[in-house]
A and B are shown apart, each in its own frame.
Chain A
């Protein structure tokens, strides 16, 4: 009998790096920051994830996609656990992921707001247009096509665009 090959956590991370966010198919679940921990015990792989938004409908889909990607590499004994602390933040996205977002037409998130509990107005500067780079843009709504996006319009090139909103 051949013992199943033991995979390393690094190799798991590498496989998960090929699993894209279904709503934003240019960044991986690892770049998104939802994979918090990977542990390997023999053939068993335990993956700890944290949700982006509490009600994000893509979370279960991402779990399935991760299991499928690992399955394709012969890793079938996979368990997922969800943690809520520390709460997910867009600050975990690195410069490369941000640049991929911008090229895809989504303005990357600015640093998460930490200016007090009650912020009735958006304190941040206008979000630069991901298409033409103009800074003369206008926020239309802080709620967009997915839980993680806001809608803006560029006053220069007239293009509406999504922003990955800071959280």
Chain B
């Protein structure tokens, strides 16, 4: 294996659009999985500590498989660890939604629900895409994410239709995070380029299904869909909010301090 430079890689380095495409799917899960792992030992109740840690494992496991595939497709000798620990913030391709800090439990649940609803629809579509290895990982991960969606939608109802305090906090979280959802559904040059290779999903159709599902749960939770049209984007091209750099610093410090170490 080629040892990556400790300075890190500032670009995704992807001449092949498929690599960028895979990194987007992988990085969403790696970053959200790491965020959830920050709850380990801090959950509001034991069952939730366990649930959030379990979901972190699922997401990081899926990320690991996807990063390994991205490394293989790229063909430069980078394995999953090299891609996870030796890429800088600007080379990360995750959506802004998943890098937002955990906040209180309501913020974590709303972030998770908005992503889970997207993820289940996205993985279902990817499981039928024209790339066999990606389709296989998507089909596997989908089964796990269906459990995640059930968990987060259940908590949306409990928190939204709970006490005045939990309702207010959940509505506030929804209002704050809503601006990061549009980015999930906007196709760009990478999507168009991979579509030419036979790897694409219908983001417009997924957006419509997602909106219907989210509106249904939000309504039943006695919450209100935000009317705001503020849209924050940039994650897919490496322009992140200030939060990702801090998260990566913590996530990558051991690997970069001791490159090549195994344990």
Interfacial residues, chain A to chain B (CB-CB below 8 A): 51, 53-57, 83-85, 87-89, 112-113, 117-122, 140-145, 147, 151, 165, 167
> Which among B33, B61, B139, B154 is the interface contact of A56 at CB below 8 angstroms?
B61
Q: Within 8 Å CB of A88, what residues of B?
A: 140
Closest approach, in angstroms, between the C-beta of B42 and any C-beta of chain A? 16
Q: Determine if A54 and B213 form an interchain contact, defined as CB atoms under 8 angstroms apart.
A: no
Known: A141-B47, A143-B50, A144-B50. A87 touches B140 (CB 8 A): yes
Binds A, one of B5-13, B51-59, B75-83, B232-240: B51-59
Q: Determine if A53 and B61 form an interchain contact, defined as CB atoms under 8 angstroms apart.
A: yes
Q: Within 8 Å CB of A57, what residues of B?
A: 57
Q: Determine if B139 and A85 form an interchain contact, defined as CB atoms under 8 angstroms apart.
A: yes
B interface residue count range (under 10 / 10 to 19 / 20 to 34 / 35 or more): 35 or more
Closest approach, in angstroms, between the C-beta of B184 and any C-beta of chain A? 17
Q: Within 8 Å CB of A89, what residues of B?
A: 143
Say yes or no for B32: interface residue by CB 8 A criterion: no
Q: Determine if A54 and B62 form an interchain contact, defined as CB atoms under 8 angstroms apart.
A: yes
The number of residue pairs between A and B whose CB atoms lie closer than 8 Å in the complex comes to: 91
Known: A53-B144, A87-B140, A118-B213. A143 touches B150 (CB 8 A): no
Nearest A residue (CB) for B135 = A85
> Which among A55, A112, A121, A151 is the interface contact of B62 at CB below 8 angstroms?
A55
Alpha-carbon separation in the docked complex, A142 to B151 (Å): 8
Nearest A residue (CB) for B147 = A142
Q: Determine if B50 and A145 form an interchain contact, defined as CB atoms under 8 angstroms apart.
A: yes
Q: Within 8 Å CB of A120, what residues of B?
A: 149-150, 153-154, 217
Say yes or no for B121: interface residue by CB 8 A criterion: yes
Alpha-carbon separation in the docked complex, A52 to B121 (Å): 22
Q: Determine if A143 and B54 form an interchain contact, defined as CB atoms under 8 angstroms apart.
A: yes
Known: A84-B140, A119-B146, A167-B143. A143 touches B59 (CB 8 A): no
Q: A85-B139, A143-B55 are in contact. List 14 more A-B contacts (CB 8 A).
A: A53-B58, A54-B140, A54-B141, A55-B62, A57-B57, A84-B65, A84-B136, A84-B140, A85-B140, A87-B143, A120-B153, A141-B51, A144-B50, A147-B57
Closest approach, in angstroms, between the C-beta of A97 and any C-beta of chain B? 19
Q: Determine if B57 and A56 form an interchain contact, defined as CB atoms under 8 angstroms apart.
A: yes
Alpha-carbon separation in the docked complex, A140 to B54 (Å): 15
Q: Determine if B136 and A87 form an interchain contact, defined as CB atoms under 8 angstroms apart.
A: yes
Q: Determine if A83 and B217 form an interchain contact, defined as CB atoms under 8 angstroms apart.
A: no
Q: Determine if B213 and A167 form an interchain contact, defined as CB atoms under 8 angstroms apart.
A: no
Q: Within 8 Å CB of A54, what residues of B?
A: 57-58, 61-62, 64-65, 137, 140-141, 144
Q: Determine if B62 and A142 form an interchain contact, defined as CB atoms under 8 angstroms apart.
A: no
Q: Within 8 Å CB of B144, what residues of A?
A: 53-54, 167
Say yes or no for B183: interface residue by CB 8 A criterion: no
Q: Within 8 Å CB of A122, what residues of B?
A: 150
Alpha-carbon separation in the docked complex, A34 to B139 (Å): 16
Alpha-carbon separation in the docked complex, A83 to B69 (Å): 12
Q: Determine if A55 and B50 form an interchain contact, defined as CB atoms under 8 angstroms apart.
A: no
Q: Determine if A117 and B120 form an interchain contact, defined as CB atoms under 8 angstroms apart.
A: yes
Alpha-carbon separation in the docked complex, A88 to B65 (Å): 15
Known: A56-B61, A84-B137. A143 touches B149 (CB 8 A): no
> Which among B51, B61, B120, B151 is the interface contact of A51 at CB below 8 angstroms?
B61
Known: A84-B136, A118-B149. A140 touches B47 (CB 8 A): yes
> Which among A118, A121, A147 is the interface contact of B120 at CB below 8 angstroms?
A118
Q: Within 8 Å CB of A51, what residues of B?
A: 61, 140
Alpha-carbon separation in the docked complex, A145 to B143 (Å): 19
Say yes or no for B60: interface residue by CB 8 A criterion: yes
Say yes or no for B175: interface residue by CB 8 A criterion: no
Residue of B58, B120, B143 ringed by the most chain A CB atoms within 10 A = B143
Nearest B residue (CB) for A113 = B146
Q: Within 8 Å CB of B140, what residues of A?
A: 51, 54, 84-85, 87-88
Alpha-carbon separation in the docked complex, A34 to B150 (Å): 26
Alpha-carbon separation in the docked complex, A91 to B219 (Å): 36
Q: Within 8 Å CB of B213, what residues of A?
A: 118
